[in-house]
Amino acid sequence: MLHSPGGDGAGRGAVTADGGPMSIGAVLAALRDEFPEITISKIRFLESEGLIEPERTPSGYRKFAPEDVDRLAQVLRLQRDHYLPLKVIREHLDALERGEPLPPSAGGPEALPARPGQEPEPVAAARVDRSELLSAAGVGEEELAEWESYGLLAPLPDGGYDAQAATVAALVAELGKFGIEPRHLRVMKASAEREAGLVEQVVAPLRRHRNPQTRAHAEARTKELADLTVRLHVALVQGALGVRLP
């Protein structure tokens, strides 16, 4: 297998002729059509979180087997389509690979993508309790209480949190490392609420429709519009900063 002189061989993106292990650059190229926002940093982060475990050469280069790439793609789909936190994704995929029943969780049923040759198995929409949220974000009660005071997070009536809260908490914690405080993020929260309101205006007539199929279509349309809104927001921020992410 060929590698570039430094890092993980990302520059060459070579794959062995017999379909053997791939470099991290080759994995990036293979997944980018379906996941245009994927980056080498994202792949390394998912590895650090235990979602994938590629082999290493004696010199430290990562070698991704086909099953590693398949698992990585499943992780990315579950994040994108089902908004599951990484802890839940890891538990689900590990259980599938061991041939065990999926771990139970609260909420409405969704379909977890099956491995080749398997039927899709029902899973539940992820929920996390307060201790799990604190652990995922790596913060204490004081920080979480501050985030809640600024409206960045809000517990459910039973004291738990939905899956998206884990993502928000992790991002707020990461921004904090750069000196961006919760009070600075109120403008982002307000912007998100305005964007959500715009989407709601579009899908509201579908949700009120008498036809059950039309009402069901509203959920798919909401996800589609949310994705387009996020992509536009990213492009506008990048344009304002004069940068382009890989």
Mean pLDDT of 32-54: 87
Number of domains in the chain: 3
Whether residue 135 is found in the same domain as residue 95: no
Burial of 55 (0-12, 13-18, 19+ CB in 10 A): exposed
pLDDT of residue 245: 60
Please write the tens of the pLDDT for every residue from 143-192. 999 999 999 999 888 888 887 888 888 889 888 888 999 999 989 989 88
Mean pLDDT of 90-96: 82
Instruction: Let me know: does 26 contact 46? Beta carbons within 8 Å.
Output: no
In a domain, 163, yes or no: yes
Whether residue 59 is found in the same domain as residue 70: yes
* Number of neighbours of residue 195 by Cβ within 10 angstroms: 16
Whether residue 218 is found in the same domain as residue 205: yes
Least confident window among 17-26, 79-88, 111-120: 111-120
Instruction: Share the mean pLDDT of the chain.
Output: 77
Give the side-chain half-sphere CA count within 13 A for 134.
12
Whether residue 187 is found in the same domain as residue 166: no
When pLDDT is cut at 50, 70 and 90, the band that residue 11 belongs to is very low
Domain holding 139, by residue range, is 126-180
| CATH code for the domain of 109 | 1.10.1660.10
Partners of 123 in the β-ladder: 110
Mean pLDDT of 78-90: 76
Whether residue 168 is found in the same domain as residue 238: no
207 or 112, which is more confident:
207
Least confident window among 30-44, 64-78, 100-114, 219-233: 100-114
Closest CA to 138 of 114, 173, 104, 165: 173
pLDDT of residue 126: 60
Give the separation between CA 15 and CA 22, rounded to whole angstroms. Answer: 5
**84, 106, 124 - which closes a domain:** 124
Please write the tens of the pLDDT for every residue from 107-127. 333 444 444 444 444 444 467
